[in-house]
Amino acid sequence: MQLLQSNSLVLCFLILLSACNQKNHYTVRVKFDNANGLYEKSEVKMSGLKVGYVKDIQLSDGDILATICVEDKVEISADADFIMKDADQLGTKVVEIKSNPYSQNYLTDGETVYGVYYPSSETDSHSVIDSFVQKVAKPILDTLGYEVTPKKR
> What single string gives the DSSP state of each residue in the chain?
-HHHHHHHHHHHHHHHHHHHHPPPEEEEEEEES--TT--TT-EEEETTEEEEEEEEEEEETTEEEEEEEEETT---BTT-EEEEEESSTT--EEEEEE--TT-S-B--TTEEEEEEE---TT--HHHHHHHHIIIIIHHHHHHTT--SSPPP-
Residue spans per domain, the chain: 24-120, 122-153
C-alpha span between 64 and 112 (Å, rounded): 12
Handedness of CA 74, 79, 81, 82 (dihedral sign): positive
What pLDDT score does 87 carry? 84
Q: How many CA atoms lie within 13 A of 55 on its CB side?
A: 14
C-alpha span between 138 and 8 (Å, rounded): 58
Q: Give ∠ CA 32-36-40 in degrees, rounded to 5.
A: 80
What pLDDT score does 88 carry? 79
The pTM assigned to this predicted structure is 0.64
What pLDDT score does 17 carry? 43
The per-residue pLDDT string of the chain (153 residues; one tens digit each, 9 = 90 and over) reads: 554 455 555 554 445 444 434 569 999 999 998 888 899 999 999 999 999 999 999 998 888 999 999 999 999 999 999 999 988 777 789 999 999 999 999 999 999 999 998 876 544 455 555 556 666 666 777 777 776 555 555
